[in-house]
């Protein structure tokens, strides 16, 4: 490995690790903020910085910083009869697994160093690259193409499945080693739940791999760029993967292993200080990595509708509506911004799910995984296989019709992105209106009479 490759590897590690760490911290605030908005409460506002006689609360964004300081300063308690080795290893496995996963997730297209004009001010006005083909090595400068993923492994999604299974071991170690019956029950629930939904998680992607013809995540993204997004060609797989990913993260409505009403705090009941902080932070980091995988496999990764390596090309079949060549560096920056923007949207969607659905019972959770999601994943595999074989046998005319349908789907996705962005901006600008909601017969009676009847107190 050359010095050039080492430097770029360190840069990619800093980008991905920094994004996961910072977004996971922000999600701890978003969960509190979103719950307060749904429940019509003030929300996080207690953390404050006083400067020059004024208080700065930053809409509660200081709370993640306060949480970190609290975890570092709290007592690190270990139960007297705990298995000290496994007790210490468990939080390391939980957090380490998350950062191992991000190594194979691509966050941008391949950089072609030969296309950059390294002398300022021409660096941002360089030429566009070819839409098809691969980048070549610049022998004169000693540079080679840079893939925007930390470890471009050939096994791709298979490595992700292998590493995600380590979360089961972390939960089992934590519950077993704590010498607490509630922790042990939480660990058993976590192991059963995660193993059950990992089956659906893997099978839901079999159909996608059949369509994409590859197990590499970057190849999946490029297929979506040239044809249609995965959510269009595999809608059932998208729903199954999203549900299984939320269950893998053990978040509401699938937070049975941590159910406070039954198990105090589940498998990490006996953890305190920074060890608890590692479990707490790993949950939110898992939300980020799961969202990254969802974006890469089903939402086009770093791509946007009609944007390709050479720029913007609005085309329907053979009819080219608009063609605009864009310098390579701008396309790389746009792709990276698009990828991280999509991840933010999917993370916020999971926050909405958490505060919108009630917790399932344990038997309901297992029935959902084994009786509904798993059979649905088998159906998706069978239907996908039949369609792939049938379409391959229908000839070039059907292939051209599918290409036009893919272009139309890109237009629909582009219209949806524009509409969603406008609604989001308009929603932030619109003033908040509070509406009273009357629930229950007693509340209806009170609302009708305008007051409650007062009676003398009786002993």
**pLDDT above 60: residue 363:** yes
Among the listed residues 274, 395, 328, 306, the one whose alpha carbon sits nearest the alpha carbon of residue 129 = 328
What is the domain count for the chain? Answer: 1
What distances in angstroms separate CA 76 from CA 252, 264, 275, one per listed residue? 28, 19, 8
Task: Say how far apart CA 231 and CA 307 lie, in whole Å.
Answer: 18
- How many Cβ atoms from other residues are within 10 Å of residue 440's Cβ? 8
The answer as to whether 457 is a domain residue is no
pLDDT tens for each residue of 228-265:
898 998 999 999 999 888 888 888 788 777 766 666 77
The answer as to whether 433 is a domain residue is no
The answer as to whether 443 is a domain residue is no
pLDDT tens for each residue of 273-305:
888 888 888 888 888 998 999 999 999 888 888
pLDDT at residue 362, rounded to an integer:
80
- How many Cβ atoms from other residues are within 10 Å of residue 179's Cβ? 15
**pLDDT above 80: residue 143:** no
Higher per-residue pLDDT: 408 or 47: 408
The answer to whether the CB of 74 falls within 8 A of the CB of 272 is: yes
Among the listed residues 289, 308, 343, 11, the one whose alpha carbon sits nearest the alpha carbon of residue 149 = 11
Task: Say how far apart CA 346 and CA 292 lie, in whole Å.
Answer: 9
DSSP state letters, 309-339: TTEEEEEETTEEEEEEE--HHHHHHHHHHHH
Confidence band for 459, pLDDT divided at 50, 70 and 90: very low
pLDDT at residue 256, rounded to an integer:
76
Q: How far is CA 20 from the centre of its chain?
A: 10
The answer to whether the CB of 227 falls within 8 A of the CB of 234 is: no
The answer to whether the CB of 35 falls within 8 A of the CB of 19 is: no
DSSP state letters, 186-245: HHHHHHHHHHHHHHHHHHHTHHHHHHHT-S-HHHHHHHHHHS--HHHH-HHHHHHHHHHH
pLDDT at residue 343, rounded to an integer:
93
pLDDT at residue 39, rounded to an integer:
76
pLDDT tens for each residue of 29-75:
888 888 887 777 777 888 888 888 788 877 778 888 888 888 888 77
**pLDDT above 60: residue 89:** yes
The answer as to whether 226 is a domain residue is yes
Confidence band for 165, pLDDT divided at 50, 70 and 90: confident
Task: Say how far apart CA 147 and CA 56 lie, in whole Å.
Answer: 42
Confidence band for 326, pLDDT divided at 50, 70 and 90: confident
pLDDT at residue 120, rounded to an integer:
47
Q: Helix, strand or coil for residue 138? A: strand
The answer as to whether 400 is a domain residue is no
**pLDDT above 50: residue 441:** yes
The answer as to whether 447 is a domain residue is no
Percent of the chain with pLDDT over 70: 87
The answer to whether the CB of 256 falls within 8 A of the CB of 189 is: yes
- How many Cβ atoms from other residues are within 10 Å of residue 148's Cβ? 23
pLDDT tens for each residue of 173-223:
888 888 888 888 888 888 888 888 888 888 888 888 888 888 888 889 988
**pLDDT above 90: residue 340:** yes
Instruction: Look up the domain containing 147 and give its range.
Output: 3-43+78-305+328-395
The answer as to whether 412 is a domain residue is no
Contacts of 373 (CB under 8 A, 6+ apart): 197, 200, 240, 243, 244
Confidence band for 26, pLDDT divided at 50, 70 and 90: confident
Lowest mean pLDDT among 268-272, 285-289, 341-345, 430-434: 430-434
What distances in angstroms separate CA 386 from CA 234, 380, 392, one per listed residue? 14, 10, 10
The answer as to whether 190 is a domain residue is yes
- Predicted TM-score of the model (pTM): 0.85
Burial of 419 by CB count in 10 Å (0-12 exposed, 13-18 middle, 19+ buried)? exposed
The answer to whether the CB of 163 falls within 8 A of the CB of 151 is: no
**pLDDT above 70: residue 452:** no
Q: Mean pLDDT score of the chain, rounded to an integer? A: 81
pLDDT tens for each residue of 99-142:
888 888 888 888 876 655 444 455 556 666 777 766 766 656 65
The answer to whether the CB of 310 falls within 8 A of the CB of 129 is: yes
């Amino acid at each position: 490995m050359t010095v050039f490759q080492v430097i770029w590897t360190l840069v990619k590690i800093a980008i991905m690790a920094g994004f996961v760490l910072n977004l996971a911290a922000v999600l701890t605030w978003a969960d509190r903020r979103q719950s307060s908005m749904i429940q019509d409460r003030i929300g996080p506002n207690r953390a404050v910085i006083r400067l020059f006689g004024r208080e700065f609360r930053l809409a509660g964004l200081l709370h993640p910083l306060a949480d970190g300081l609290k975890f570092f300063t709290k007592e690190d308690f270990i139960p007297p009869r705990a298995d000290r080795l496994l007790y210490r290893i468990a939080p390391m496995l939980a957090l380490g697994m998350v950062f191992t996963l991000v190594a194979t997730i691509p966050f941008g297209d391949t950089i072609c160093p030969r296309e950059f004009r390294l002398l300022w001010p021409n660096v941002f006005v360089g030429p566009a690259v070819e839409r098809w083909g691969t980048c070549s090595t610049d022998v004169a400068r000693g540079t080679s193409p840079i893939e925007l993923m930390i470890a471009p492994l050939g096994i791709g999604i298979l490595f992700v499945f292998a590493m995600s299974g380590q979360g089961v071991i972390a939960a089992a170690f934590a519950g077993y080693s704590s010498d607490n019956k509630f922790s042990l029950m939480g660990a058993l629930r976590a192991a059963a739940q995660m193993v059950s939904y990992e089956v659906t998680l893997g099978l839901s992607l079999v159909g996608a791999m059949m369509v994409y013809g590859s197990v590499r995540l970057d190849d999946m993204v490029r297929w979506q760029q040239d044809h249609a997004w995965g959510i269009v060609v595999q809608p059932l797989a998208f729903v199954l993967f999203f549900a299984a990913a939320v269950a893998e993260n053990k978040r509401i409505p699938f937070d049975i292993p941590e159910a406070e009403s039954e198990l105090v705090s589940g498998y990490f009941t006996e953890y305190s200080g920074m060890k608890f902080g590692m479990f707490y932070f790993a949950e939110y980091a898992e939300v980020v990595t799961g969202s990254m995988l969802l974006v890469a496999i089903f939402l086009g990764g770093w791509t946007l509708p009609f944007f390709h390596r050479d720029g913007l090309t609005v085309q329907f079949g053979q009819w080219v509506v608009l063609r605009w060549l864009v310098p390579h560096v701008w396309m790389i920056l746009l792709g990276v911004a698009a990828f991280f923007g999509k991840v933010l949207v999917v993370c916020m969607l999971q926050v909405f799910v958490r505060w919108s659905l009630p917790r399932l019972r344990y038997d309901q959770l297992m029935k959902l995984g084994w009786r509904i999601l798993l059979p649905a994943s088998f159906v998706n595999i069978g239907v996908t296989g039949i369609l792939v074989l049938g379409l391959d046998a229908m000839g070039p005319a059907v292939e051209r019709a599918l290409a036009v349908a893919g272009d139309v789907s890109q237009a629909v996705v582009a219209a949806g992105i524009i509409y969603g962005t406008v609604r989001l901006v308009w929603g932030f600008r619109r003033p908040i209106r509070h509406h009273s909601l009357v629930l229950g017969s007693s509340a209806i009676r009170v609302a009708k009479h305008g007051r409650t009847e007062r009676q003398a107190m009786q002993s």
